[in-house]
A and B are shown apart, each in its own frame.
Chain A
């Protein structure tokens, strides 16, 4: 286990023993990354924050299911993933949103790193096309995006990503590979666009 997982494991043990301070530490340790994961799946920062609270509430209720000395990080991701799926299903069911004046407030789109798109654009810190790659990632099918976010952005192993999504390591590898292929095509297309336009002009 890496030091982070070891700390999470130790803190989770104390949390199960009823130590409130251990919960605070666990929250500080894991909430930012779980939030980033949820933003990546939901593409909506406000909804992701709500789901984060729900996920930690579920974790609190399910803490007796924890296995001592196990790494709780993939488990917490799993709970967050499931809570997120429930939220997505709930959203699908309630397509109509009511407002007082009939106008919807503009909700800024969220980048899956958790930062609002507007803020990110004003930062203007592109690192050799990585921003472009990350933006293209949001256009991937859900299961491919999940696989890439978990394995590449959150550093989960293929086996852990499989457990988190209730899938097999082989399926995760395949989805990540397909995601790469799709991303490469998307980005090649984008790169070819301006060159073609130049030639036409």
Chain B
């Protein structure tokens, strides 16, 4: 055995496709009765999920006060953090919902990788560069909460936003995507978590590394895992 046996031309030469049987009577009947259909537009699904997903975080930011230390925090930290959270939301969502050029289906595997990459970058950002302004930034005790209570509050918010995005994504894509439920769920879960993290970046008053890691990035990871498990169960049955 040598590599020549595995050359592309040999493989293709051997794969002369056999004639297929004629279409079944049921299929011919269905085709005979068909009517013109309105086909799917490339961006519709993405835009619908995007709009539904951002409603609640936008409402949160508009109706609740911004974090007290926002003006005192380094501008670079605020901007880089916002870009990372927004990118981790928008990119996996776009890749998961918008088919590439000349394709019918989105590349969900790539979307899940982007979601995971975003999560890793946010973990590193939160672990090594949490900005804290002494005297201005708050700790859970300043809010009359324990550490666990503050984590549960933020983590719960992240999971709620992710659940909305997962639900909207599922409703729109369940008939379109015959395979790849797990990576799609992971991508949408991570995107939902990142969207909530973006809102919390401007809203959450607790500026401790442990809090951000556990309840913002950690809840995003939880949403990602939950999305993968739920979508795998629902779509890859």
**B-side interface mostly:** loop
A127 to B10, CA, bound (A): 8
Instruction: Indicate with 1 or 0, residue by residue over A48-76, a CB within 8 angstroms of chain B CB atoms.
Output: 01001100111010111111111110110
| Contacting pair B105 A163 (CB below 8 A) | yes
Instruction: Report which of B13, B27, B103 forms a contact with A74, defined as CB distance below 8 A.
Output: B103
- In the complex, the chain B residue whose C-beta lies closest to that of A62 is B175
- In the complex, the chain A residue whose C-beta lies closest to that of B173 is A65
Interface size on B, residues (CB 8 A): 55
| Contacting pair A79 B178 (CB below 8 A) | yes
| Contacting pair A35 B8 (CB below 8 A) | no
| Contacting pair B8 A60 (CB below 8 A) | no
Give chain B residues whose Cβ lies under 8 Å from the Cβ of A79. 178
B22-61 interface (Cβ within 8 A of A)? 23-24, 26-27, 30-32, 34-42
Instruction: Indicate with 1 or 0, residue by residue over A189-201, a CB within 8 angstroms of chain B CB atoms.
Output: 0110000000000
Interface size on A, residues (CB 8 A): 76
B71 at the interface (CB under 8 A from A): no
| Contacting pair A74 B18 (CB below 8 A) | no
A94 to B99, CA, bound (A): 37
In the complex where A66-B40, A169-B109 touch, is A128 in contact with B10 (Cβ < 8 A)? yes
Q: Which 10 A-B residue pairs are closest in the complex by CB-CB distance?
A: A166-B180, A168-B109, A166-B179, A114-B18, A187-B1, A31-B20, A82-B178, A75-B104, A18-B36, A32-B17
Binding site for B on A (CB under 8 A): 1, 5, 9, 16-18, 20, 23-24, 27, 31-36, 39, 49, 52-53, 56-58, 60, 62-72, 74-75, 78-79, 81-82, 85, 113-115, 127-134, 152-155, 159-160, 162-171, 180, 183-184, 187-188, 190-191
22 contacts between A and B (CB under 8 A): A20-B32, A36-B17, A53-B24, A56-B27, A67-B40, A70-B103, A72-B104, A114-B17, A128-B10, A130-B14, A133-B5, A133-B6, A152-B8, A153-B15, A160-B103, A163-B105, A167-B183, A168-B113, A169-B110, A170-B113, A188-B1, A190-B1
